[in-house]
Structure 1
Amino acid sequence: MDKEQLERLYEEQEYYWGKEPSELARKLLAYMNGPTKTIIDLGAGEGRDSVFLAKQGYDVISMDITSAGLGKASKLAEEMGTSLQTIQADVNDFIFPCKVDVLYSIGALQYIKPENRQRQFRHFKENTQEGGIHALFAFIDHPDIEMAPDWGRNEYLYTREELQAYYVDWKQLYTEEIIFCCNSSNIPHHHAARILIVKKV
Structure 2
Amino acid sequence: MNIGNVISEKRKALGLTQQALAEKLHVSFQAISKWENGTSCPDIELLPQIAAILKTTIDSLLGYPSQSVTDYDKRYGNEEYYWGLKPNNLCYEIMRIKPPVKPYKVIDIGCGEGKDAVFLARNGYDVTAFDASEQGLSKARELADTYGVKVDFFKADVRDFRLEADYDIIFSSGVFHYIPLELRENVVNNLKAHTTTNGINVVNVFVEKPFIPLPPDTEKGEFVVDSWKSGELFMYYHDWLFHKNEEWIFDCDSSGTPHKHCMDVLIAEKV
Please confirm whether the aligned pair reaches a TM-score higher than 0.5, indicating the same fold: yes
Q: Distance in 1 between matches of 2:239 and 2:69?
A: 33
> Are positions 1:67 and 2:134 aligned together?
yes
C-alpha contact 2:200 2:269 (8 A) present in aligned 1: yes
SS in 1 for 2:71: helix
Counting helix residues as a fraction of each chain, which structure ranks higher? 2
TM-score normalised by L of structure 2? 0.71
Question: Partner residue of 1:19?
Answer: 85
SS in 2 for 1:186: coil
Could you say what the CA RMSD is over the residues aligned between the two structures, in angstroms? 1.4
Question: Partner residue of 1:180?
Answer: 250
Aligned-residue identity in percent: 36
Question: Partner residue of 2:12?
Answer: none
Matches within 5 A, 1:37-52: 37-52=104-119
> Are positions 1:145 and 2:212 aligned together?
yes
Question: Partner residue of 1:171?
Answer: 241
RCO higher in structure (CA 8 A, sep ≥6): 1
Using the TM superposition, give the Cα deviation of residue 4 of structure 1 relative to its aligned residue in structure 2, in angstroms. Answer: 4.5
TM-score normalised by L of structure 1? 0.95
The residue type paired with residue 112 of structure 1 is I
SS in 2 for 1:15: coil
Matches within 5 A, 1:1-201: 3-33=69-99, 34-151=101-218, 152-201=222-271
Using the TM superposition, give the Cα deviation of residue 97 of structure 1 relative to its aligned residue in structure 2, in angstroms. Answer: 4.3
SS in 1 for 2:223: coil
C-alpha contact 2:82 2:254 (8 A) present in aligned 1: no
C-alpha contact 2:102 2:125 (8 A) present in aligned 1: no
Q: Distance in 1 between matches of 2:83 and 2:210?
A: 27
Q: Distance in 1 between matches of 2:91 and 2:131?
A: 17
C-alpha contact 2:178 2:223 (8 A) present in aligned 1: no
SS in 2 for 1:192: strand
Q: Distance in 2 between matches of 1:5 and 1:53?
A: 26
CA deviation vs aligned residue, 1:139-197 (integer Å, no higher than 9, x gap): 00123312222122334221001000110111011111110111122121110001110
Q: Distance in 2 between matches of 1:145 and 1:28?
A: 29
Q: Distance in 2 between matches of 1:128 and 1:189?
A: 35
Using the TM superposition, give the Cα deviation of residue 124 of structure 1 relative to its aligned residue in structure 2, in angstroms. Answer: 0.7
Counting strand residues as a fraction of each chain, which structure ranks higher? 1
Q: Distance in 2 between matches of 1:106 and 1:4?
A: 15
Using the TM superposition, give the Cα deviation of residue 98 of structure 1 relative to its aligned residue in structure 2, in angstroms. Answer: 1.2
CA deviation vs aligned residue, 1:72-121 (integer Å, no higher than 9, x gap): 11110110121100121111121224111110011111111111101000
Q: Distance in 2 between matches of 1:181 and 1:47?
A: 22
Q: Distance in 2 between matches of 1:40 and 1:153?
A: 24
42-51 vs 180-189, which deviates more?
180-189
C-alpha contact 1:40 1:104 (8 A) present in aligned 2: yes
